[in-house]
Amino acid sequence: MRHLRVHGGFVDLDPQHQDVFAFTHTLDDDRLLVAINFGSAPQQFDLPADTSAAQPLLGNGVGTDPSPGSTTLQLDGW
């Protein structure tokens, strides 16, 4: 996965969002989606049409992991 983070192309999914920083890193057929809620309140974040969730690697909520293929993320506040 390191090669993806170091060499992958970066795309900010919603640069205008006030609380959520969501982006992808893509290299060849591999893509890493990162979504971070910097706000204190829970956030629902809708992914762009060509993006969906896969297997979560890390999270801070209990029972809030998205199902594979989901296009909406439920992000707990910090």
The enclosing domain of 68 has a CATH number of 2.60.40.1180
DSSP-H helix ranges across the chain = 2-7
Positive or negative CA dihedral for 59, 60, 65, 69? negative
How many domains in the chain? Answer: 1
Q: ∠61-15-57 over CA atoms, to 5°?
A: 30
Q: What is the pLDDT of residue 46?
A: 92
Domain holding 16, by residue range, is 2-75
pLDDT tens for 3-37 read: 666 777 899 999 999 999 999 988 888 888 889 99
- The H or E element spanning position 42 is none
CB 42 within 8 A of CB 75: yes
Percent of the chain scoring above 70 in pLDDT: 88
Mean pLDDT, all residues of the chain: 85
pTM beyond 0.85: the answer is no
Q: What is the pLDDT of residue 1?
A: 60
